Amino acid sequence: MLAQMSSKWGDAAIQVISFDEGAKEPVPGGIRFRSEFVHTMSLMHALALQRLRGDSHLTNLTYGRFMDIPPEPPVDADLVDEWTRVRGNKSLVFLRAHRPHLEKYWRALPLAVLGGINLTECSILEPSRDRVYLVMCWLHRALVARRMAGGISQDAPIVSRIYQVLSDGMLGYENALKIVNTPFPFPFAQCVALLLHINALIIPLLMADWLADPYLASAITSSPSSPSTSSTRWLGRSKSPFASTRTTFRWFIYTTSLMRGW
């Protein structure tokens, strides 16, 4: 889903640049239009990733340049900061990372936008409840205005591909957003976590009372606990797959691949 979103939107930017540059009679303002269009595409891509990870702070969007690719974040757990590896008790009970943990994660790993985000864009985007669709409207209006001014002077069936791949990328974004917005069954996940904690308290006491061998008691105690713990951890990840710090490296790939390509 994210790969579809990034690839389609990157394809749209490449098509706009190619079609506008390839005009037989160049229209004035081409360089400015293409620069602003690439910036707006980068802004929409960053806002989409930000929405999927649950972040709404525009201050977590940083200035990005074509030749200034940020270093790759560490993927080894031993190299990650302590706060990204240790979670509070709320994470175990509610099966998700608590808010302060995620806010630290967002501030430490901002999303790059080519050209940054100016004050005018911030003032318009801040009150919006759907920033990705708002920026998509900006792109469509910019394409129509450029076309009416004489730019992107390819045949209409060819130009229609731009709108098609923009919509295809939006479809990938909506499919990913559907996972975020569809709540995992609340009572089921919490009941599983509660039963797991009860099981972890009772089973060791029973095994210690029934078995005389301490090694055998330890082995039998850990046997049912390990699968249950794994299932609970999977439930927590399935509730918010894009907000986990384990997806850090994927955010880096999706963001910097477009910066390298454009």
Domain boundaries, the chain: 2-182+242-261, 186-233
pTM for the whole structure: 0.72
> Is the predicted pLDDT of residue 83 greater than 50, yes or no?
no
Residues 2 and 165: their CA atoms lie apart, in Å, by 14
CA atoms within 13 A on the CB side of 7: 5
- Give residue 235's pLDDT band: very low, low, confident or very high (50, 70, 90): low
pLDDT of res. 178:
87
pLDDT (tens digit per residue) in 113-122: 888 999 999 9
* Cα dist from 89 to 97, 103, 183, 222, whole Å: 9, 17, 21, 21
CA atoms within 13 A on the CB side of 115: 16
